[in-house]
Chains A and B, each alone.
Chain A
Amino acid sequence: MSNFKLDITRFESAFNVEFKTYFADALEALVPMADEKLLSITEKSIECSPTGTLLIRNVAMVFDAYMKKHAASKKTFSKTV
Chain B
Amino acid sequence: MLDFAKFTKYSKPGPRYTSYPTALEFSEAFEYNAYINKLETQDKSRPLSLYFHLPFCRNACYFCGCNVVFTSKEDKMVRYIEYLKREMKILSQHLDTSREVIQMHFGGGTPTFFTAKQLKKIINLIKSHFKNFSKEAEISCEIDPRHINEDQMKVLRRAGFNRVSFGIQDFNEKVQIAVHRVQPYDITKDAMELARKYKMRSVNVDLIYGLPYQTLETFKETLRLAVSLDPNRFAIFNYAHVPWLKKTMRKIDETTLPEPDEKLRIMQYTIDFMEKNGYKMIGMDHFAKPDDELFLAIEKGELHRNFQGYTTKGGADLIGVGLTSIGEGVDYYAQNIKVMAEYEAAIDAGKLPFERGVYLNEDDLIRQYVIMSL
Contacts and interface: CB of A to CB of B under 8 A. Distances in A.
Interface residues of A, number: 42
A56 B373 CA distance: 11
Contacts of B369: 11, 14-15
Contact of B371 (A17, A50, A60): A60
Contacts of B301: 3, 7, 10
Interface in A1-52: 1-7, 10-11, 14-15, 17, 22-23, 36, 46, 48, 50-51
A77 B242 CA distance: 7
Interface residues of B, number: 50
Contacts of B160: none
A63 B363 CA distance: 11
Given A2-B305, A3-B301, A57 B15 contact: yes
Interface string B210-239: 000000000000000000000000000011
Contacts of A55: 7, 10
Residue in B6, B268, B271, B366 with the greatest tally of chain A CB atoms within 10 Å: B366
Nearest to A71: B13
Residue in B13, B22, B298, B365 with the greatest tally of chain A CB atoms within 10 Å: B13
A45 B77 CA distance: 50
A56 B8 CA distance: 14
Contacts of B371: 1, 60, 63-64
Contacts of B109: none
Given A1-B283, A54-B267, A81-B264, A17 B366 contact: yes
A61 B264 contact: no
A7 B24 contact: no
Contacts of B334: none
Given A54-B264, A64-B20, A77-B14, A2 B283 contact: yes
Given A81-B7, A81-B263, A59 B374 contact: yes
A5 B15 contact: no
B16 A57 contact: yes
A11 B242 contact: no
Contact of A63 (B24, B267, B303, B370): B370
B2 interface: yes
A22 to B, nearest CB: 7
Interface string A50-81: 11011111111101111100100011111111
B367 A2 contact: no
Given A1-B284, A7-B373, A61 B241 contact: no
A4 B267 CA distance: 16
Contact of A58 (B10, B25, B363, B367): B10
B284 A56 contact: yes
Interface of A: 1-7, 10-11, 14-15, 17, 22-23, 36, 46, 48, 50-51, 53-61, 63-67, 70, 74-81
Interface of B: 2, 6-8, 10-17, 20-22, 24-25, 238-242, 244-245, 260, 263-264, 267-268, 271, 281, 283-284, 298, 301, 303-305, 310, 363-367, 369-374
Given A56-B374, A57-B15, A64-B20, 5 more contacts: A7-B373, A54-B7, A56-B284, A57-B16, A64-B22
Across chains A and B, which 10 residue pairs bring their CB atoms closest together, nearest first? A78-B240, A81-B11, A80-B14, A77-B13, A75-B244, A2-B303, A81-B260, A60-B371, A57-B14, A1-B17
26 contacts: A2-B304, A3-B374, A7-B373, A15-B365, A15-B369, A23-B370, A50-B271, A51-B7, A53-B284, A54-B7, A54-B267, A54-B268, A55-B7, A57-B14, A57-B16, A57-B284, A58-B10, A59-B374, A60-B371, A65-B364, A66-B21, A66-B22, A67-B14, A74-B13, A76-B24, A78-B238
